[in-house]
Structure 1
């Protein structure tokens, strides 16, 4: 019986060291301490821990909206850049014609 118990204990210890080395234990501990110190305990403790650890990012609708906004702004930037180049060329021609007179 003890021979099957030892390998499991060894794996557990190895896994614990892995979590400790990666900073996981410290991060979870900080999240739990923050939850403990909350004056008003949240209804969903797991959600609090996820948010505390930064897992709650923007939802997919917000992400899609931001992607669309970036795409529109890139197109506007390209259009403005082309217009700027065209105006520079026109200004250069105007300045050259002024010098020739």
Structure 2
């Protein structure tokens, strides 16, 4: 788990720029409000495959993030394995905290 990424997620939530859960993130990808999608390490393969397909279809950057659903639950008091950020400023902050090998753009 990356200890620097989780506080950034908390800040994005407080700023109203964080979207949680499959349905909400899927909708945000489709309507163009999602700028980055993060997937937890313990996300089910089926959910991962479907949300990645949607992100790629709408050309949204996505990353496998170094956290688990329990980390998000402890931080935000809501269990979620799929998150999206709707602000480019937060996207830049998040990308600084992702492991170097994951900084490559994973859109199509």
Higher helix share: 1
Q: Which has the larger radius of gyration?
A: 1
TM-score by length of 1: 0.19
TM-score by length of 2: 0.18
Greater RCO, CA 8 A, separation 6+: 2
